[in-house]
Amino acid sequence: MPYRICKTIDIENGHMLSKHPDACRFPHGHTRRIEFVLESDTLDARDMVCDFKVIKDAVGAYLETLDHALCVNTADPAYAEWRARYGERIVPFENQDPTTEVLARRIYDLAAARLATGAEVAGARYPLRPVVRLIRVRVWETASSWAEYVREEPPGRD
C-alpha cells in the first residue's frame, strides 16, 4: 500500500456556464478548495512522500491567476469585451465551459507537468523523487459539491 499525502489550496474564483439552462449561465463565484493527492510506495530520506511545499511551488503561480478571476468560455459573446476590459482577470477556456470538471482536469495537467519537471531538478531545497505520482486533483465548488480528475493507472499496477 503506497503512502499518500494531500495538500489543499483555497482560492476565490468565478465562472459562468454558457451552456447551463439556469442561473449558472450568469457570472457567479465560489470559494474553491483544491486538493492535490500524491503517492509513493516509499518515503524519502526525510521520511516523507515529499514536502508539501513542492506542491505550492509547482502550482501556486498558476492558481494565483485564477484567484479573484472569472473563467469564461471563449465562445461566449461577452468574452472579447470582458477580456478587453478586465485583461488577465478573465481566464479563457477555449470553446468550452469552465465547469468544475474542466477546471480540475486543467489544474491536474498543469500540476503533473510541473511536478515532472521539478523531479528533474538536482539539489532542490524541496526535492521530488521521480517515483512520486500525482493521483488526483479535486476541486470543491461548494462545501457539498466537488469534481475531480484522476490519473489513469499505469499498466501492470495492482
Residues catalogued as catalytic = 24, 68, 141
Identity of the amino acid at 134: L
The residue ranges of DSSP E strands in the chain, in sequence order, are: 3-15, 28-40, 69-73, 90-93, 133-142, 145-150
Backbone dihedral angles phi then psi of residue 78, each to the nearest 5 degrees:
-85, -10
The three cell numbers of residue 111 are 500540476
Task: Let me know the angle formed at the C-alpha of 79 by 66 and 64, rounded to the nearest 5 degrees.
Answer: 10
Q: Which of 122, 111, 132 is nearest to 57 (CA)?
A: 111
